[in-house]
């Protein structure tokens, strides 16, 4: 793929997540907590696509050990460390694959911190 097909990139917590212009999400780096979203907890030294293969992601942020992404349909998804409930799915379990936030749709933006997420409907 060419260097011109990336639309945004976020980094922190020793890993990087990037959104391509085709709406797919890719990540690389430290993956111990599942924050790469590719279904495992391994470190990745090349970019890998998140496990669902979706092409309708519109934005992405990270909270250091977890990732939160917004889809074009207004749904919010997260993966990685969940020990403080930061994945928003009603659990304190971590996830190495995207899980949908539990209160529905119509999200318009999101920010993430060390162990919290704030989203705007």
Task: Give me the chain's average pLDDT, please.
Answer: 94
Question: Residue 3: what pLDDT?
Answer: 67
pLDDT classification of 18: cutoffs 50, 70, 90? very high
Residue 110 three-state SS = strand
Contact of 40 with 101, CB cutoff 8 Å: no
- Which runs of E-coded beta strand occur in 1-121? 6-12, 15-20, 25-29, 44-49, 57-62, 66-71, 76-80, 95-100, 109-112, 117-120
Question: Residue 12: what pLDDT?
Answer: 77
pLDDT classification of 77: cutoffs 50, 70, 90? very high
Polymer length in residues for the chain = 121
Phi-psi region of 106 (alpha: psi -120 to 50; beta: other; left: phi over 0): left
pLDDT classification of 13: cutoffs 50, 70, 90? confident
């Amino acid at each position: 793929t060419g260097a011109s097909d990336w639309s945004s990139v976020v980094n922190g917590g020793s890993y990087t997540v990037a959104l391509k212009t085709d709406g797919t999400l890719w990540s690389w780096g430290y993956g111990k907590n599942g924050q790469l979203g590719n279904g495992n907890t391994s470190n990745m030294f090349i970019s890998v696509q998140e496990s669902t293969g979706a092409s309708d992601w519109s934005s992405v942020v990270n909270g250091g050990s977890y990732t939160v992404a917004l889809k074009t349909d207004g749904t919010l998804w997260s993966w990685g460390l969940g020990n403080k409930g930061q994945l928003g799915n009603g659990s304190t379990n971590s996830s190495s694959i995207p899980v949908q936030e539990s209160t529905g749709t119509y999200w318009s933006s999101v920010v993430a911190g060390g162990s919290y997420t704030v989203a705007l409907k």
